[in-house]
Amino acid sequence: MKERIILHCDLNNFFASVSLLFNPTLKGFPVAVCGDKENRHGIVLAKNELAKSFGVKTAEAIFEAKAKCPELITLPPIYEKYEEYSRKAHEIYERYTDMIEPFGIDECWLDVTGSTVLFGNGETIANKIRADIKKELGITASVGVSFNKVFAKLGSDMKKPDGTTVISLENFKNIVWKLPISDLLFVGKKTCEKLKMCGIHTIGDVTQCDEATLKRLLGKNGILLKKYALGEDDSPVITPTENDKPKSIGKSVTSAKDFTDNDSVWKEFLKFSQYICDILHKKGLYAGGVQVHIRTSSLAVKEFSLTFQDSTNSTLTFARRGFELFCKNYSFGEPLRSVGLRAINLKDTQTAVQQDMFGESDEISNLEKIENSIYKVRQKFGKESIKRGTTV
């Protein structure tokens, strides 16, 4: 089988780079894109290279960033521009291949195995893409080139900004195995701590560890981790389509003011449920369960889930079930900073509804007919055309 050629393209400091295109007088200054302090999203979302040189980090509080860099200039996010430039980058990728898998708004994997006859080898294609992005979009990208997705992602992190790194079958042991284990894809903080406690500090160390130990530490993911370190990742680049079915649909909010009672949570759940059920209708799906996410004022995170006997795409039914789950598991021992609702165990219309002859199937059926009518009106006249009174 022909060796694959996979690229991982990472748009450098994406939010900050795009924001500076619309604030050109700030070039040469340390700049960070930050969330809204008034809505308690006062953290660094992205920073430019100059701010990075002062030690400013993504996800730290603004006051912490300014303690490191008093001259730091903060800008609000402009999400519509980030989406626009992400689309433009995708259009550039599409010149070289139709096998593109997004990994967030600013990263993508590309399978260019079949493109080399037209455009040259993987490194050549990577350099052409970087040049196109710099010339046409005014921002830079780093690209990793390898024979699998994990190493391509690793390569794109190695030369920033604006660099290409090739990790091949011949050189990957020399390049990859000396890197810290935290650099490997999907190795988070907790996983890293567990591995280090067992003397596993580098990616190469994982390859020397027996599978029984890794499985005891991390379950089946431990064995997968060793497979990645050995260069045996064979996962394909999967291009999403409009017909793809989501595995879950959710929405959450961090409020400017803590949630202190059930009424305020119920109103948010109704809003979340409307958003979620609109997508369920659009995709032809039903929710087979609900998951509730909360974060307390002391930042403790809790999640609860429930599987339904009968699936639903009714806004009111779904909101009620989520709220009942919330009330069963939380009684406001302390205020809540954020709440979230998620539809899980999604099913299609052919397998979704199992009638409960001793339950409330008639009421649910009637609600769903009403919801279908509401959905059609909102589709035709806009999302603001019909609202529930309690959410206004």
Q: Concatenate the DSSP letters of all residues of 305-352 into one string.
A: EEEEEEEE--HHHHHHHHHHHHHHH---SS-EEEEEEEEES-EETTT-
Alpha carbon distances (Å) from 246 to 282, 337, 347, 348 = 12, 27, 10, 11
User: What per-residue confidence (pLDDT) applies to 355?
Assistant: 43
- Digit-by-digit pLDDT tens for the chain (392 residues) are 579 999 999 999 999 999 999 999 999 999 999 986 554 457 898 999 999 999 999 888 899 999 999 999 999 999 899 999 999 999 999 999 999 999 989 999 999 999 999 999 999 999 999 999 999 999 999 999 999 999 999 999 999 999 999 999 999 999 999 999 999 988 888 888 989 988 999 999 999 998 998 988 888 888 999 999 999 999 999 888 766 778 899 998 877 788 999 999 999 999 999 999 989 988 889 999 999 999 888 878 899 999 988 888 888 889 999 999 999 999 998 999 889 999 999 988 645 444 443 344 455 556 566 666 666 666 666 655 555 555 44
How does DSSP classify residue 231?
A: T
What are the tens digits of pLDDT across the range 200-250? 999 999 999 989 989 888 888 889 999 999 999 999 998 887 667 788 999
- pLDDT digits 0-9 by tens, 173-200: 999 999 999 999 888 888 889 899 889 9
Cα–Cα distance measured from residue 173 to residue 146, given in angstroms and rounded to the nearest whole number = 13
pLDDT the model gives residue 185? 86
Cα distances (Å, whole numbers) of residue 366 to 315, 317, 357, 383: 12, 11, 15, 22
User: So what's the pLDDT on residue 190?
Assistant: 83
CA 333 to CA 146: how far, in whole Å? Answer: 51
Adjacent-strand bridge partners of 352:
none
User: Quick check: 155 and 172 in contact, CB under 8 A?
Assistant: no
Q: Residue for token digits 């433009």?
A: 88
Residue 9, phi then psi, degrees to nearest 5: -105, 125
Residue 254 has what pLDDT? Answer: 79
Please give the backbone phi and psi of residue 201, each rounded to the nearest 5 degrees, phi first: -110, -30
Q: What is the pLDDT of residue 362?
A: 52
Contact indicator for 347, 286 with CB cutoff of 8 Å? yes
pTM of the model as a whole: 0.69
Q: Which residues are catalytic?
A: 107
pLDDT for res 231? 95
pLDDT in tens, 359-369: 444 555 565 66
Q: pLDDT tens, 140-156?
A: 999 999 999 999 999 99
Would you state the pLDDT for residue 353?
45
| Pure H helices in the chain | 14-21, 49-53, 62-68, 79-93, 116-119, 122-137, 149-156, 172-176, 189-197, 203-207, 211-218, 220-229, 262-283, 315-329, 361-381
b/e sequence 123-135, b meaning 16+ C-beta within 10 Å: bebbebbbebbee
Domains of the chain, with CATH numbers? 6-13+80-173 (3.30.70.270), 23-77 (3.40.1170.60), 177-229 (1.10.150.20), 249-391 (3.30.1490.100)
- pLDDT for the residue 183: 93
Q: What angle do CA 318, 322, 324 make, to 5 degrees?
A: 115
What 3-state DSSP class applies to 278? helix
